[in-house]
Amino acid sequence: MKKILFILFTLNTFILADESTNLILHEIKVLREDMNKQVNALREDMNKQVNTLRGDMNKRFEQVDKRIDNMNTILLVVMALIFASPFIAIYLRDRREESDKKQFDKLRGVIIALKEMAEDNEKLARSLKYSNI
């Protein structure tokens, strides 16, 4: 009988141990699932934050690209003006010289007409001689 009681006691202990082990394993499983959920939620939050930061960085880089493009445009305009300025100066000088030449030709015509008139008018001849014309 002692043997039977001992066997029953040990069986009962194993059964209780098995139930408590199952209970502990179940608790561990539940805790693990909760931890996995929390870790996944944290990962999702971190991914959202990283994506937001990436979007902000992309916007900043686009702004820098636009500024660099604007600066390149301004630089190209300034360089074009620098390289074109001698040609513009030559063009304006030639245009001015043409205008001066036309004015000089008109003035020459006036002087010739005055010299012809000075042949008949002595007062005009003296004035032209006094002016060294």
DSSP of 22-63, one letter per residue? HHHHHHHHHHHHHHHHHHHHHHHHHHHHHHHHHHHHHHHHHH
CA distance 109 to 90: 28
CA distance 69 to 100: 45
pLDDT by 10s per residue, the chain, length 133? 556 655 655 555 555 556 677 777 788 888 889 999 999 999 999 999 999 999 999 999 999 999 999 999 999 999 999 999 999 999 999 999 999 999 999 989 888 888 888 888 888 788 878 887 7
Confidence (pTM): 0.45
pLDDT number for residue 87: 94
Q: How far is CA 121 from CA 114, 126, 132, in A?
A: 10, 9, 17
Domain ranges of the chain: 2-130
pLDDT number for residue 111: 85
CA distance 95 to 89: 10
CA distance 58 to 66: 12
